[in-house]
Amino acid sequence: MIQVKEFLDTDMSLAEKRVNEFLAELNDDQVINICYGSINKVTPTKLSEQRSAILVVYKK
């Protein structure tokens, strides 16, 4: 079965760290594709912060 897992940055955690932890649990032959995207989020104080979204496509 093919699955997709999405990891998003939040104020408390980084997507990259969580993806690396997840990938450590998989075998290399389970990983099909990894997609990365980023956006700029404007905070209430008008500061711009980059947010990441990472999709992992894998075999279960």
Residue 23 has a pLDDT of 98
pLDDT band at 3 (very low <50, low <70, confident <90, very high): very high
Edge to edge, the sheet with strand 2-8 lists: 2-8, 48-59, 31-42
pLDDT higher than 90, residue 51: no
Cα distance between residue 30 and residue 53, in whole Å = 20
Residue 4 has a pLDDT of 98
pLDDT tens digit sequence for 4-45: 999 998 876 889 999 999 999 999 999 999 999 998 888 889
Which residues partner with 41 through β-bridges?
49
Residue 36 has a pLDDT of 95
